Amino acid sequence: MLGQIADKNAFLSGLSAAEYGALRGHLAPLELRVGQCLHYLGDQIEEVVFPSSGLVAMTVPLRDNAGAAAGLIGRDGMVGAIAAIAAAPAACDAVVHISGQASRLSAAAFRDVLDENPSIRRRVARYGYGLIAQLQQTALCHAAHPVESRICRWLLAIQGRCAGDRVPLTQSTLAQMLGVRRTTVTLVAGRLEAAGVLKCHRGYMQIVNQQELERRCCECHAHFNGYMSKLLAPSAETPAAEGARPARPVPERSGRRVI
Ligand SMILES: [Zn+2]
């Protein structure tokens, strides 16, 4: 059954009324502020956070600098859920880059609700699988694709988690998230601006030609979105639907193929 919940967080709004009812009493509001770290690498997760706006980056820190973002979580998802289920230490920092609003609940309450509601646990597992897909796509992208197409991909990914055509980030924050120099982002942003793709303002970037931005983006954006559409399709949520599918032969590939 598709969710009917009027919550701005996609995971919560995708729950059935009964599933949402099991969580609702445990949820409390949380304001997300730029620079706030919801958890640090190695922390025991104490809360699960469901953003309804704003942006949180899953950041792998380095000894000498802030590191780079491996994945993004906005109103499409939740922060800390997978580690909370396993009562495992956090595998990254979770840093707020765009302010917003969220709901939170304690990791202990989250585990209790999931123990009593296997259907929510299955939804969390699917979400977790999507998160893994995002992380592996980012790893591939960092290794295989040029910086301009990576910047385009990041802009599209952030825009997808915010409303409208504005990406409320400075070039310096974008550089930090990508793990590149600020001057590199400035150079690429200048090229995109000259091509009429982007307009840079103080404190935010405005996408003025979405189609051209998508054209300049590497294949990772479309590949990941296509996978998520399949993963989150209502028909894919029933385990029985997967049972009768025949095995497909492994395609033969000639030469190197990135994805
Ligand atoms: Zn890529």
Ligand 1 centroid to residue 209 C-alpha, Å: 20
What sections of the chain are H helices per DSSP? 10-13, 17-24, 81-86, 107-116, 118-144, 147-161, 171-178, 182-194, 210-216, 220-232, 239-243
- Indicate whether 132 and 157 sit together in one domain: no
- Let me know if residue 259 belongs to a domain: no
Ligand 1 centroid to residue 5 C-alpha, Å: 34
Single-letter code of the amino acid located at 236:
A
- Indicate whether 94 and 8 sit together in one domain: yes
- Indicate whether 95 and 169 sit together in one domain: no
- Indicate whether 162 and 206 sit together in one domain: yes
Structure token pair of residue 254: 């000639």
N residues, the chain: 259
CATH code: domain of residue 83: 2.60.120.10
CA 157 to chain centre: 8
Ligand 1 centroid to residue 240 C-alpha, Å: 34
The reported pLDDT for the residue numbered 258 is 43
- Indicate whether 103 and 36 sit together in one domain: yes
- Indicate whether 78 and 117 sit together in one domain: yes
Ligand 1 centroid to residue 201 C-alpha, Å: 26
Q: How far is CA 202 from CA 22, 187, 190, 208, 240, in A?
A: 43, 16, 14, 16, 52
Ligand 1 centroid to residue 188 C-alpha, Å: 16
Ligand 1 centroid to residue 74 C-alpha, Å: 20
Ligand 1 centroid to residue 128 C-alpha, Å: 21
- Indicate whether 139 and 150 sit together in one domain: no
Q: Around ion ligand 1, which residues have CB less than 5 A away?
A: 141, 145, 218, 220
The reported pLDDT for the residue numbered 68 is 86
Q: Quick one: residue 158, left, alpha or beta (phi over 0 = left, psi -120 to 50 = alpha)?
A: alpha
Ligand 1 centroid to residue 153 C-alpha, Å: 7
The reported pLDDT for the residue numbered 246 is 56
Task: Give pLDDT tens digits for 188-203.
Answer: 999 999 999 999 999 8
Ligand 1 centroid to residue 126 C-alpha, Å: 23
Q: How close are the terminal C-alpha atoms of the chain, in Å?
A: 33
Ligand 1 centroid to residue 192 C-alpha, Å: 17
- Indicate whether 112 and 167 sit together in one domain: no
- Indicate whether 90 and 163 sit together in one domain: no
Ligand 1 centroid to residue 223 C-alpha, Å: 9
Ligand 1 centroid to residue 211 C-alpha, Å: 17
Ligand 1 centroid to residue 94 C-alpha, Å: 22
Structure token pair of residue 132: 């893994």
CA 8, CA 25: separation in Å to the nearest integer?
A: 17
CA 11, CA 75: separation in Å to the nearest integer?
A: 8
- Indicate whether 69 and 105 sit together in one domain: yes
Q: Which residue has the tokens 């990791």?
A: 107
Task: Give pLDDT tens digits for 29-57.
Answer: 999 999 999 999 999 999 999 999 999 99
Domain that holds residue 26: 1-144+220-233
- Let me know if residue 52 belongs to a domain: yes
- Let me know if residue 241 belongs to a domain: no
Q: How far is CA 246 from CA 5, 137, 242, 243, 249, in A?
A: 36, 27, 9, 9, 10
Query: DSSP states of 46-64 as a string?
Result: -EEEEESSSEEEEEE--SS
Tens of pLDDT along the chain (259 residues) come to 445 566 789 999 999 999 999 999 999 999 999 999 999 999 999 999 999 999 999 998 887 776 789 999 999 999 999 999 988 999 999 999 999 999 999 999 999 999 999 999 999 999 999 999 999 999 999 999 999 999 999 999 999 888 778 899 999 999 999 989 999 999 999 999 999 999 999 989 999 999 999 999 999 999 999 999 898 877 666 655 444 455 566 655 554 444 4
CA 99, CA 180: separation in Å to the nearest integer?
A: 23
The answer to whether 32 and 102 have CB atoms below 8 angstroms apart is: yes
Ligand 1 centroid to residue 256 C-alpha, Å: 16
The reported pLDDT for the residue numbered 239 is 57
Ligand 1 centroid to residue 140 C-alpha, Å: 7
The reported pLDDT for the residue numbered 67 is 79
Which pairs from 10-18 meet CB under 8 Å and 24+ separation?
A: 10/75, 10/76, 10/77, 11/50, 11/76, 11/77, 11/78, 11/123, 11/127, 12/50, 12/103, 14/123, 14/232, 15/120, 15/123, 16/119
Ligand 1 centroid to residue 212 C-alpha, Å: 16
Tell me which DSSP letter residue 221 carries. Answer: H
CATH code: domain of residue 182: 1.10.10.10
- Indicate whether 2 and 92 sit together in one domain: yes
Ligand 1 centroid to residue 133 C-alpha, Å: 13
Query: What is the number of domains present in the chain?
Result: 2
Pairing of strands 55-60, 68-73: antiparallel
- Let me know if residue 248 belongs to a domain: no
The reported pLDDT for the residue numbered 244 is 47
